Chains A and B, each alone.
Chain A
């Protein structure tokens, strides 16, 4: 049974379809190795944008630039939420405060906390009590705490993780950890949710659940989703648009249908070989890089 959400999940002020994030000519290199070469793309409010490409194409590097973990040497990343923000000059926590949440490829949960505490930690940016009232657990701090406990319950409900609320995260299965990590990102009430391989290493059933949660969050709450995923079946099914990276360059962009037929993409994935391969469902294709 799904309860109605008591609190708003999406904090964006834009209308669906408006440009929310613009990556402009981003270049990133480590020493002499170029990770991203002149990449530009646009993310629009309330869409699901998938970023695909072979291993080492620079997909995760791009997410890391957006969330401020890497600082590109050239180019700009501009974020709109009524005002304009240049993200490349900000620190990760400042970018989080603007409403950009993310999950990680190799699950970076707070392993020693319970699921509930992970979700509450996700809501960190919204909790405003000062240190003194926290130490006393007095008045506003307590009220705020209980309000967010309720909010966390909404997310628990949404992701169907009621049974593991009080479990320590480190002890959970891989699939559940991925789910909790998405929950933690949602607790931030994001305007954009960046998901780095949310289905890697899952079985078909778990993937289906995860795809459903992603669609729920996107359709019911209007949260914009940027998704890196290797499972082409899922990508083709759920995304509105797809960007393809190869060797740090953007080689294609378009709807799933356009991408499916793009010769450059087919070549990037397969060299000269068969055509349909990457776009069939293939459980072995999700080797992470």
Chain B
């Protein structure tokens, strides 16, 4: 029973971080139909910039975190403007490939600044063991879940209430119509990329707080795929639920079965979902007409 609770909490933590990464991914897809293979690198950059702010420049963590978010937003805008904007109207393969090229470039930049060795992260969230229903877990994991929930809450309020959020939903629904209503689609794309980078940066900071910073954090970029396919590529609630489900699945298979099965099971789930329900649990089904 202890093991079960421990695995559940681990799964929820990972799920929360996956959800944050997936959220940005889904947002970009919703707004601009682009699959972002560099989402893992956004997370990586978030982790390293937070690391630099707190450990290298010695800033207080709220300030450091705020600066990290600003940098992430700037990164999102720059990437959209320089790399993605010229690709509007190009075939899918080009768009996929340009984000792959971007991921390679970003990873190289991170490695050339901070090197390839994993580093310990100055724990800005305490990791004291606490007792939850008889199982012992690090406090930081609980905080990660809480922070992720808060972030997701902020995003959902943003989408429902703010001007930009509503405009973004309009663009996702129908670009032409949104354009004719005077919404600047380009601005919305930039918003989507900035928010994606920011939410990934928070995810990166959280995961770095638990396991330290290192280039392998970019691996989250691939782990996002099962999450978004399960939840539906264009569904924000889907990204959250998909993240939690995949996080738990990884934790349980890792804990009860082992053999590294937790690394591959999400991808098997991905193929099964694609075969029976390609639009995922919550995604919109698109009927193709001739």
Contacts and interface: CB of A to CB of B under 8 A. Distances in A.
Interface of A: 30, 60, 64, 69-70, 104
Nearest to A196: B290
B275 interface: no
A69 B287 contact: no
B189 to A, nearest CB: 28
A73 B205 CA distance: 55
A64 B290 CA distance: 8
A249 B43 CA distance: 57
6 contacts: A30-B287, A60-B290, A64-B290, A69-B290, A70-B290, A104-B290
A196 to B, nearest CB: 10
Contacts of A70: 290
A70 B290 CA distance: 9
Nearest to B289: A30
Interface in B270-290: 287, 290
Interface of B: 287, 290
Minimum-distance CB pairs A-B, first 6: A69-B290, A64-B290, A30-B287, A104-B290, A60-B290, A70-B290
Nearest to B287: A30
A267 to B, nearest CB: 29
A220 to B, nearest CB: 31
A70 B287 CA distance: 12
A30 B285 CA distance: 13
A62 to B, nearest CB: 12
B284 to A, nearest CB: 14
Contacts of B290: 60, 64, 69-70, 104
A33 B287 CA distance: 14
A114 to B, nearest CB: 20
B165 to A, nearest CB: 30
A119 B287 CA distance: 30
A171 B119 CA distance: 57
Nearest to A67: B290
B32 to A, nearest CB: 25
B289 to A, nearest CB: 8
A30 B290 CA distance: 13
A69 B288 CA distance: 11
A104 B290 CA distance: 9
B91 to A, nearest CB: 12
Contacts of A60: 290
Contacts of B287: 30
Nearest to A64: B290
Contacts of A64: 290
Contacts of A104: 290
B288 to A, nearest CB: 10
Nearest to B290: A69
A17 B126 CA distance: 88
A64 B287 CA distance: 15
A13 to B, nearest CB: 30
A69 B287 CA distance: 13
Nearest to A63: B290
A129 B287 CA distance: 36
B28 to A, nearest CB: 29
Contacts of A69: 290
Nearest to A70: B290
Nearest to A92: B290
B160 to A, nearest CB: 28
A150 B100 CA distance: 46
Contacts of A30: 287
A33 to B, nearest CB: 11
A12 to B, nearest CB: 25
A30 B288 CA distance: 11
A30 B289 CA distance: 10
A41 B114 CA distance: 74
Nearest to A108: B290
A210 to B, nearest CB: 22
A70 B288 CA distance: 11
A64 B288 CA distance: 13
B168 to A, nearest CB: 28
Nearest to A31: B287
A9 B287 CA distance: 36
Nearest to A104: B290
B89 to A, nearest CB: 15
B31 to A, nearest CB: 27
B290 to A, nearest CB: 5
B251 to A, nearest CB: 40
A123 B290 CA distance: 22
A97 B290 CA distance: 20
A172 to B, nearest CB: 21
A203 to B, nearest CB: 27
A70 B289 CA distance: 9
A64 B289 CA distance: 10
A94 B287 CA distance: 23
